[in-house]
Structure 1
Amino acid sequence: MFLCGGLSEAQEAGENIQKICDNVKPDVQKKAGKNYEVFTAVLYETQVVAGTNYYIKVHVGGENYVHLRVFENLPCYGGGLELSDMQQSKSYNDPIEPF
């Protein structure tokens, strides 16, 4: 059952989610103060608000992961992607939770 404002079930990240990550990677690196050679989307959940929040688990090398919250504006407001927030020092087993 879909709940507006609630998170979807975790899904494997595909090409479209990787494109979102590639788009915000410069902002992520700036915020983290690091350059990531590995930056691979693994899992994601979505939250429908006045647009869409993507909560994405990204592998950044070794045993290291980050969680991203990326907002995609509605097309009627120009679309566009924005890194809203990120969490560092995550592992593969850490669940994706709203932040």
Structure 2
Amino acid sequence: MAGPAEWSPTMDATEEIQKICVQMKTDVDKFTGVNYGEFKAVKYRNQIVTGGQNYIIKVYVGGEEYIHLSLYGKPDGVVTLRGVQQHKTEDDLLEPFPK
């Protein structure tokens, strides 16, 4: 696991990461203007920061399409959408991106 303020290596999505994605789907749909039929977390990276964690999550949304989510999670379980990158592929690397 990465130390404070370092991004973790890319890891396979866990059940917890999938739950976060399901929780954020409505916000992602509003942000992008797209109602994604499929929404399956595939890979993720996280970063421990003061007061919570940052996440970058690769989400499969159907066909050959993936999106990347930038999220911030507080210790109390509240997660905030910070940004979305659309039109990604299975092979695109998960890199931190601006809001």
When normalised by structure 1's length, the TM-score is 0.91
SS at match of 2:19: helix
In the other structure, the counterpart of 2:48 is 48
**Structure 1 position 54, deviation (Å):** 1.0
In the other structure, the counterpart of 2:86 is 88
Q: Distance in 1 between matches of 2:14 and 2:95?
A: 20
Number of aligned positions between the proteins: 96
Q: Distance in 2 between matches of 1:41 and 1:57?
A: 6
**Structure 1 position 70, deviation (Å):** 1.1
In the other structure, the counterpart of 1:8 is 8
When normalised by structure 2's length, the TM-score is 0.91
Q: Report runs of 4+ in structure 1 exceeding 2 Å deviation.
A: none
Identity %: 46
SS at match of 2:2: coil
How large is the RMSD of aligned CA atoms in angstroms? 1.1
Amino acid at match of 2:16: N
Gaps of 5+ in 2: none
Whether the 8 Å CA contact 2:2–2:47 is kept in 1: the answer is no
